Chains A and B, each alone.
Chain A
Amino acid sequence: QSVLTQPPSVSAAPGQKVTISCSGSSSDIGTNSVSWYQQLPGTAPKLLIYDNNKRPSGIPDRFSGSKSGTSATLGITGLQTGDEADYYCGTWDTSPSALVLFGGGTKLTVL
C-alpha cells in the first residue's frame, strides 16, 4: 500500500481535460516538492512535472502540476489517445534519509 494516494483510474474523451490527484501528509507532500511521471505501455517512466509545477524541456504545456497543502494535482488538457498511460506522483519524506515515495499510480483511459 502506497503512502501517497492516487485514484486507480480516470477516463475522459479526446480533447477533454482530466485531473489526477495525489494525497499525502505533512511528512511528505506537505513539506517537499512533487514530481509526476508518465509510463506508456511497455516503456520506462518519463518525468512530466518536477518541483510541483515545472515542465522539463520537451513536455507540452498541456501538462500542468499544482500543489496545495498535503495534496498535488496533475492536469492534462486537450487529451489525446497517445496520453493513455499510467501516471505516478512522487516525493520524499522528511526523514534524514529522504526516502522516496511514489503514489500507487493512476491509469488514464482516453475514451
Chain B
Amino acid sequence: QVQLQESGPGLVKPSQTLSLTCTVSGGSISSATYYWTWIRRPAGKGLEWIGRIYPSGNTNYNPSLKSRVTISLDTSKNQFSLKLSSVTAADTAVYYCARSPGFDIWGQGTMVTVSS
C-alpha cells in the first residue's frame, strides 16, 4: 500500500531555510487521482495546513505562509518537497506530508526545531 516518509534536518537556524522531502512508496506521485500536501503541528497547538501541489506542478499555499513557502515535485524520485524560508522559532513544529484529497494517508511526521 501507499506509504509516505518525511526526511530532512531536525534543526534549522533562525533566518535560514527549512527543507523537507516526502518520499512516496507503493504508488506514483504522478497519478492524476491524487495531489500532495504539507501540514504542520506546532507544539501545544493544532494542525496548520501549509500547502499542496498537483501532479501538474500547480500549487496552493496558506496565505499566512505564502511569501515564504515553496512546494515542488520530483517525479523521477517519486518525491515532493517543502522549502520554508526565513524561519523563526514560531516555525518549530512536527511537519507531516499527506496524500490528498482527504488526507487519507500521512507520513509519520518529522520534528523540526528552529534554534541557534
* Cross-chain pair count, CB within 8 angstroms: 49
Chain A hits for B115, CB < 8 A: none
B103 touches A47 (CB 8 A): yes
Which residues of chain A from 89 to 107 have any CB-CB distance to chain B below 8 Å in the complex?
90, 97-105
Interface size class of A (residues with CB under 8 A): 20 to 34
A2 touches B103 (CB 8 A): no
A45 touches B48 (CB 8 A): no
Shortest C-beta distance, B91 to chain A (Å), equals 17
Whether B63 sits at the interface, judged by CB under 8 Å, is yes
With contacts A100-B49, A102-B46 taken as known, whether A44 is within 8 angstroms of B102 at the C-beta atoms is: no
Minimum-distance CB pairs A-B, first 10: A100-B49, A105-B46, A44-B106, A97-B60, A102-B47, A104-B46, A47-B104, A50-B102, A44-B109, A88-B47
Interface of A toward B, CB cutoff 8 Å: 2, 35, 37, 39, 43-47, 50, 56, 86, 88, 90, 97-105
